[in-house]
Amino acid sequence: MKTKIHTEQAPAAIGPYVQGIAHNGVIYTSGQLPLDPETMSFVSGGIKKQTKQSLLNLKAILDESGSSLENVIKTTCFLSDMNNFMAFNEVYEEVFGIDNPPARSCVEVARLPKDALVEIEAIAITDK
């Protein structure tokens, strides 16, 4: 049976979806935009700040589920402009490191919701 994951520490869904789903010890998050959960506005400061906020939102959902960033096994990352790839990678590496990062896909898309610069989703396991 799937279990809905919800936390006030991450942005509320802006459509007919949930922040995440837990099923059989696996967490599937919805894509996280760089929205401040309190204001539901994008953080300012460009791709690095937006990447950091998306990852903070992802962390909040994983923490609520009983998992963590350390348990992420796969991310899918969407960039509005592949010219931001290097700056995105700098922040991503700060969070996930280089010794044991998750598998990852990173693609440029024509457009993201609300014209975000980045959106990140993850699959993680739990320790439960």
Which residue numbers are catalytic?
106
Distance CA 51, CA 77 (A): 10
> Please, what is the angle between helix 85-96 and helix 47-65, to 10°?
30
Distance CA 113, CA 80 (A): 10
